[in-house]
Structure 1
């Protein structure tokens, strides 16, 4: 059974999508676009214009985002206007013409690529999609495992705790998606390891759900800032060693080949699984099947073992660099040094074990 640990379904991105207002949703879309590694282009002629991001300075708070008529375009584009000129970031593949990824679309993609089940990751740029995920899991039992969202900056409030309980206990979602960039809305005044959030983490522990971490260097995505957040995650794990976790998006190849001490300590923590997710980044500047990643994958394997690695695609985004099938095939091509039984763990068995789902097809949704 092949399980993709990293998939997105979503309604049209131009709506509120679970946020109180469309503006609240677009704030996160603009943050992700302004700090993304893909180049900015001028819309009228597609020329590079990387100095025209919709950002006034370091992204330390919402005040850093420019009033630039930020909007959702078509054909995979996020668009904005500065000085009367339109610009865009190719965030999704051009084939995402209507800027939506409904469950039926993703099921067809999965059927074509040979994927049996998908974990639905709940990043803010798509919305707060708890109800949307729950409806998809009910309609298509056994195909989707949904993760809950949280307003990270308000996770210590009774309202957010009630929302989390509802998502898990009533909607049937199976884990929590947590992004440290969610703390952007309060200017990164607190980190996720701040004692004021201990009650929230105790509730996560009580619910016995895994946490899928989206960890970025903040406020800017530098190596130094990323390692500071990894160190913060180590501190958090000291206090909550019994909460199972998945570190999503993986690590840059240079950090895997020569891991600094904070990362080595994280790799030693048995509560963590680590997501292998390279084509979404690596595929922009490298050609399939990415043979340069072979030593990186070998290093990961030796650092944590096959039992703590999970494969994810980041569909539909990854199709801006390669096909869905290629996002899986490169792993089989470049990890031919591991036993077939270990590959089965990486591409499904470990995630099924995390959610205590039998590979015979029992319902995960």
Structure 2
């Protein structure tokens, strides 16, 4: 079963969604019904009896996995997370840095620009989580580099906020759409030079690594090589249902990424708690930390923290405020 069953043929937008009586279930499941038959997707780990993850759960995970600091993402699928991320960040400033989220496809409107201002100035959130799939809500009526969004991007540029961009291949969910989106991203990076970007989940394996090695078209390489773009290393959440720990397939792709782009361009991520439907949080870092023997200690330090620290100035900020 694939997500295409949730849509009417020929319409990938929200308007094409079928009524499937969607419900949030128990034990990490999302429930729905098609033609009178019940189904579920295992979205969170089975041990999550309710889909709840307070800051203290994350702190316990981090302590056990020996992770010092966590960037709290804010994908729209989790709800309106700005206030909750700010709550966690303010409670535990040495441990959490919160990202903000807005309605990406309506970022040119006054209400969204006001929420952006509130999230940054009042809540103190320190980066933007920006996902392209939300453009499906309005039938992909605008492209994310449309000039109508320039006020939004200019504001982010002025504040020098990092942007974590999740870039599925909208609108057609094919290789051509992905390439076009990378060209659009390069356009934004060229025009708004103060923004540092992280490509969430990194390059898509299914489109560019079918042979077990990366093969990128020139347009994609031009974007990936841009000075203001970093690539996330995050294979267990995307391929953990196919590959087995310690993911030798992923290790080979990480080596290829290091060789092509350098360790200074790579940033480790996990997608905890989701990732624990495939492996433990500790394993999601240890396949890099313990098993990528081709990486030097310096390269691992960069990938596992220093690159992100430089982007958000976490060490500098915590030291200045006497926290840690």
Q: TM-score, normalised by structure 1?
A: 0.82
C-alpha distance in structure 2 between counterparts of 1:51 and 1:355, whole Å: 35
Residue 121 (str. 1) matches residue 73 (str. 2): yes
Number of equivalences: 317
Structure 2 distance, partners of 1:52, 1:357, is: 41
Q: Does 1:324 align with 2:276?
A: no
- What is the match of residue 51 of structure 2? 99
Q: Which residue of 2 aligns with 1:21?
A: none
Please give the root-mean-square deviation of Cα atoms over the aligned residues, in Å: 1.9
Q: Please name the residue that 1:150 is paired with.
A: 102
Residue 173 of structure 2 aligns to a residue whose secondary structure is coil
Q: Shift of the alpha carbon at 1:74?
A: 0.9
Partner residue, 1:302: 259
The structure richer in helix per residue is 2
Alignment correspondent of 2:8: 56
Query: Equivalents in 2 of 1:51, 1:171: separation in Å?
Result: 35
Residue of structure 2 aligned with 1:178, choices 118, 130, 144 = 130
* Deviation of 1:220 (Å): 4.1
Q: Are the structure 2 counterparts of residues 249 and 52 from structure 1 closer, same or farther at C-alpha, using a change threshold of 3 Å? A: closer
Write out per-residue CA displacement over residues 165-192 of structure 1, whole angstroms, 9 at most, x where no aligned residue.
1111111100011111121121111111
Provide the residue aligned with 1:19 in structure 2.
none
| SS class of match (1:327) | helix
Q: Which residue matches 1:135?
A: 87
Distance 1:226 1:267 in 2: 13
Are the equivalent residues in 1 in contact too, given 2:214–2:256 (CA < 8 A)? yes
- 1:316 Cα deviation from its structure 2 partner: 0.5
Q: Conserved in 2, the CA contact under 8 Å of 1:149 and 1:178? A: yes
> SS at 2:98's partner residue?
strand
For residues 136-193 of structure 1, give each alpha carbon's deviation from its aligned partner in whole angstroms, at most 9, with x where no partner exists: 1111121110001011121011221111111111111000111111211211111110
Tell me if the contact between 1:71 and 1:78 (Cα under 8 Å) persists in the aligned partners: yes
C-alpha separation in 1, matches of 2:20 and 2:251: 42
Q: Equivalents in 1 of 2:112, 2:69: separation in Å?
A: 29
Work out which structure has the larger RCO, using CA pairs closer than 8 Å and 6 or more positions apart in sequence: 1
Report the Cα distance in structure 1 between the residues aligned to 2:256 and 2:305, rounded to whole angstroms: 20
Mapped partners of 1:331, 1:107: distance in 2: 21
> 1:36 maps to which residue?
none
- For residue 85 of structure 1, report the CA deviation from its aligned partner: 1.2
Separation in structure 1 between the aligned mates of residue 270 and residue 297 of structure 2, nearest angstrom: 20
The correspondence for 1:351, drawn from 308, 314, 317, is 308
Normalising to structure 2: TM-score of the pair?
A: 0.92
